């Protein structure tokens, strides 16, 4: 605790020098971070292979390219966002000028998960730097190679008093949460999200929670099934289903279910071959605990594809479960693995009612050719974000704010939202001293008084 308290104090002292807030310094830091990611690219890919068996293509696309895009977006726009914004003056404030300044919080604590262990600490860091904060990163101990690498990379480019990495597990995380940081950005599970929020409540520390949950994927009878099959399977099997926004379960129109199942089976074979668990590019489950948790779901419903496991290598083949009921264990928690339960509906309203009965999801996907029905889904269901006729890729854009609602999280980041998320609005009224309007004072003598 002592060391962490000292680190927070050092960062606060550096923050109050004003340096992290200087625009040129912020731009320089983001450029430095981008250059370091470029230099470390092979090491990042290597660490991701060791921790999660991510293929180079997938790792680059999901963990590195997104970071470059975010850096570029910040470098391009930060100058214009950083100007104080002049706003209108109320009638009662005649003579004054009003401005909104964006202020960094100070020392930001960023706690990351293991599933995209690089991207999910570096993207928030870009936001923290863009807004002018100091930052302490706590990567996930469950992806130890990436955690080590993030620490090395950050130590190589930043002073501790500006950006530091503290490695460790639950104890370290708890100690950090008890330290007097000025802002908390947490990505992880709903259960730990509650612990983080409780810790933040003790000091009323502002926070953002990026959590998870069961993201539904609804496929209507008029969907383009060939594309739907490809896009669902791609999204579900990315990182072996260990993605916060992965389609968790399918809600398929009864009339097209068999056709979709057939196409999804073909797609899995096209993407990963006859025996996906023998494909070196197929991701593995992160650890034994999660492997055991997932294999218990294999007794739910009927396995229509997959169901093979390799305990030694922590592999579970892409598995489709048909005739699953809403009461099965697989429908009671976020799956976070390559297992896809299939449920059906006959009327869209019935699907909407069903989804409304579950906690508000982080993402929702809907496949249909009808703009009207797409609008109905968007307007009638609560969820953080999602895609019409695709899965997952909404989170690859710095132009779309990312986050959940209710149990799937609170707050938004990415692009301009990241800059806003790591700063607060400071409202300033600059009053004139050329004249004074005395109406507000208890005793009114003359009207307008020139000074
Ligand atoms: P987790 O909540 O177990 O761990 C996240 C971080 O919290 C880790 O750094 C861990 O060390 C720390 N931690 C764990 N237990 C703690 C405790 N008791 N007190 C304090 N800190 C603690 O999550 P995970 O298993 O790493 O990640 C999977 C979860 O994260 C899934 O629910 C997934 O949906 C969610 N997730 C969300 C997003 C998003 O952007 N919304 C992204 C990725 C993952």
Tell the residue nearest (CA) to atom 42 of ligand 1: 244
Sheet of strand 85-87: strand arrangement: 85-87, 97-104, 423-430
Q: Is residue 446 over pLDDT 80?
A: no
Token pair recorded at residue 214: 């069961």
**One of 244, 334, 387, 421 is an active-site residue; which one?**
244
Q: Which atom of ligand 1 is nearest to the CA of 196?
A: 20
Backbone angles phi, psi at 404, to 5 degrees: -110, -170
pLDDT confidence bin for 160, thresholds 50/70/90: very high
pTM of the model: 0.96
Tell the residue nearest (CA) to atom 37 of ligand 1: 211
Q: Is residue 448 over pLDDT 70?
A: no
CATH number at residue 191: 3.40.605.10
Within a domain: 436: no
Q: How far is the CA of 114 from the centre of ligand 1 (A)?
A: 7
The answer to whether residue 244 is catalytic is: yes
Query: Domain check: are 205 and 222 in the same one?
Result: no
pLDDT attached to residue 450: 66
pLDDT confidence bin for 447, thresholds 50/70/90: low
CB-based contacts of 111, cutoff 8 Å, min separation 6: 138, 173, 176, 177, 184, 185, 186, 187, 188, 196
Q: Which atom of ligand 1 is nearest to the CA of 111?
A: 9
Nearest to 266 by CA among 288, 233, 298, 308: 233
Sheet of strand 247-253: strand arrangement: 302-305, 319-322, 339-345, 247-253, 215-219, 363-367, 385-388
Query: Domain check: are 289 and 328 in the same one?
Result: yes
Q: What is the pLDDT of residues 83-142, one digit of tens each?
A: 999 999 998 888 999 999 999 999 999 999 999 999 999 999 999 999 999 999 999 999
Q: Which of 189, 235, 336, 409 to mutate to test the pocket of ligand 1 (most atoms within 8 A of CB)?
A: 189
**First-last CA distance in the chain:** 57
Within a domain: 347: yes
Query: Domain check: are 294 and 362 in the same one?
Result: yes
Q: What is the pLDDT of residues 367-409, one digit of tens each?
A: 999 999 999 999 999 999 999 999 999 999 999 999 999 999 9
Quick one: average pLDDT of 20-47? 98
Give the whole-angstrom CA distance, residue 161 versus residue 314: 40
Token pair recorded at residue 323: 């005739």
Within a domain: 95: yes
Residues with CB under 6 A from ligand 1: 111-115, 120, 138, 140-142, 169-170, 173-174, 187-189, 192, 195, 210-212, 244, 334, 336, 362, 404, 409
Q: How far is the CA of 117 from the centre of ligand 1 (A)?
A: 10
Q: What is the DSSP string of 228-294?
A: HHHHHHHHHHGGGG--TTSEEEEEEEGGGHHHHHHHHHHHHHHHH-S-GGG-TTS---S-HHHHHHH
Query: Domain check: are 205 and 221 in the same one?
Result: no
Q: Which atom of ligand 1 is nearest to the CA of 174?
A: 20
Query: Domain check: are 28 and 147 in the same one?
Result: yes
Asked whether 249 and 335 are in contact (CB, 8 A), the reply is yes
Query: Domain check: are 23 and 36 in the same one?
Result: yes
Quick one: average pLDDT of 317-342? 97
Report the run of H or E that residue 135 belongs to, with start and end. strand 134-138
Interface predicted TM-score of the whole assembly (ipTM), two decimals: 0.98
Strands 134-138 and 107-111: parallel
Find the largest Cα–Cα distance for the chain.
Answer: 91
- Conformation bin of residue 167: beta by default, left when phi > 0, alpha when psi is -120 to 50: beta
Residues 96-113 as b or e (16 or more Cβ within 10 Å = b): eeeeeebebbbbbbbbbb
Within a domain: 445: no
Q: What is the pLDDT of residues 263-320, one digit of tens each?
A: 999 999 999 999 999 999 899 999 999 999 999 999 999 999 999 999 999 999 999 9
Within a domain: 45: yes
pLDDT attached to residue 443: 72
Query: Would the CA dihedral through 167, 334, 353, 394 be positive or negative?
Result: positive
Q: Is residue 241 over pLDDT 70?
A: yes
Please give the share of the chain, as a percent, with pLDDT higher than 90.
94
Q: How far is the CA of 370 from the centre of ligand 1 (A)?
A: 37
Please give the C-alpha separations between residue 402 and each of 27, 106, 239, 384, in angstroms, as whole numbers: 23, 22, 19, 7
CATH number at residue 370: 3.40.309.10
Within a domain: 437: no
Q: Which atom of ligand 1 is nearest to the CA of 142?
A: 26
pLDDT attached to residue 442: 84
Give the whole-angstrom CA distance, residue 419 versus residue 129: 8
Give the whole-angstrom CA distance, residue 124 versus residue 187: 10
Query: Domain check: are 375 and 424 in the same one?
Result: no
- Number of domains, the chain: 2
Token pair recorded at residue 236: 């579900």
Query: Domain check: are 161 and 269 in the same one?
Result: no
Query: Domain check: are 36 and 159 in the same one?
Result: yes
pLDDT attached to residue 247: 98
Within a domain: 39: yes
Please give the share of the chain, as a percent, with pLDDT higher than 70.
98
Query: Domain check: are 41 and 144 in the same one?
Result: yes
Q: How far is the CA of 188 from the centre of ligand 1 (A)?
A: 3
- Conformation bin of residue 54: beta by default, left when phi > 0, alpha when psi is -120 to 50: beta
Token pair recorded at residue 424: 């607060």
Mean pLDDT of the chain: 96
Give the whole-angstrom CA distance, residue 303 versus residue 292: 17
Query: Domain check: are 205 and 258 in the same one?
Result: no
Query: Domain check: are 391 and 338 in the same one?
Result: yes
Strands 339-345 and 319-322: parallel
Q: How far is the CA of 182 from the centre of ligand 1 (A)?
A: 20
Per the listing, tokens 């004054």 go with 96
Within a domain: 43: yes
Give the whole-angstrom CA distance, residue 153 versus residue 280: 28
**What residues make up the domain containing 316?**
216-395
- DSSP conformational letter for 438: G
pLDDT confidence bin for 444, thresholds 50/70/90: low
Q: Is residue 359 over pLDDT 80?
A: yes
Q: Is residue 151 over pLDDT 70?
A: yes
Q: How far is the CA of 138 from the centre of ligand 1 (A)?
A: 11
Radius of gyration of the chain (CA): 25
Asked whether 421 and 185 are in contact (CB, 8 A), the reply is yes
Q: What is the pLDDT of residues 400-437, one digit of tens each?
A: 999 999 999 999 999 999 999 999 999 999 999 999 88
Q: Is residue 449 over pLDDT 70?
A: no
């Amino acid at each position: 605790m002592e060391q962490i308290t000292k680190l927070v104090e050092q960062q606060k002292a550096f923050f109050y020098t004003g340096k992290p807030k200087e625009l040129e310094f912020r731009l320089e830091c983001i450029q430095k971070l981008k250059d370091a990611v470029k230099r470390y690219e092979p090491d990042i890919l290597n660490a991701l292979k060791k921790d999660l068996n991510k293929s180079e293509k997938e790792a680059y696309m999901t963990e590195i390219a997104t970071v470059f895009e975010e850096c570029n977006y910040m470098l391009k726009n930060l100058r214009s966002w950083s100007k104080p914004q002049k706003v209108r003056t109320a009638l009662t404030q005649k003579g004054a000028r009003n401005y909104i300044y964006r202020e960094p919080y100070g020392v930001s604590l960023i706690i990351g998960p293991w599933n995209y262990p690089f991207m999910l600490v570096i993207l928030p860091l870009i936001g923290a730097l863009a807004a002018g904060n100091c930052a302490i990163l706590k990567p996930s101990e469950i992806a130890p190679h990436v955690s080590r690498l993030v620490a090395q990379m950050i130590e190589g480019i930043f002073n501790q008093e500006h950006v530091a990495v503290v490695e460790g597990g639950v104890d370290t995380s708890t100690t950090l949460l008890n330290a007097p940081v000025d802002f908390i950005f947490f990505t992880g599970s709903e259960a730990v999200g509650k612990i983080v929020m409780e810790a933040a409540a003790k000091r009323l520390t502002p926070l953002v929670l990026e959590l998870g949950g069961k993201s539904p994927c609804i496929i209507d009878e008029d969907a383009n099934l060939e594309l739907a099959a490809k896009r669902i399977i791609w999204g579900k099997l990315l990182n072996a289903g260990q993605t916060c926004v992965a389609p968790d379960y399918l809600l398929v129109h009864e009339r097209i279910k068999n056709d979709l199942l057939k196409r999804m089976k073909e797609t899995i074979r096209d993407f990963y071959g006859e025996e996906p668990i023998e494909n070196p590019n197929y991701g593995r489950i992160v650890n034994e605990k999660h492997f055991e948790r997932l294999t218990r779901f294999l007794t739910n419903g009927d396995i229509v594809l997959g169901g093979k496991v390799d305990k030694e290598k922590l592999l579970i083949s892409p598995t489709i479960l048909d005739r699953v009921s809403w009461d099965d264990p697989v429908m009671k928690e976020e799956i976070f693995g390559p297992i896809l339960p299939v449920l059906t509906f006959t009327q869209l309203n019935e699907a909407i009612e069903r989804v409304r009965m579950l906690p508000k999801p982080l993402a929702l996907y809907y496949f249909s050719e009808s703009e009207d029905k797409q609008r109905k889904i968007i307007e009638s269901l609560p969820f953080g974000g999602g895609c019409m006729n695709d899965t997952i890729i909404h989170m690859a854009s710095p132009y779309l704010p990312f986050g959940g609602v209710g149990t799937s999280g609170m707050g938004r980041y990415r692009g301009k939202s990241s800059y806003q998320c790591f700063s607060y609005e400071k409202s300033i009224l600059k009053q004139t001293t050329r004249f004074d309007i005395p109406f507000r004072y208890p005793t009114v003598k003359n009207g307008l008084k020139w000074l």
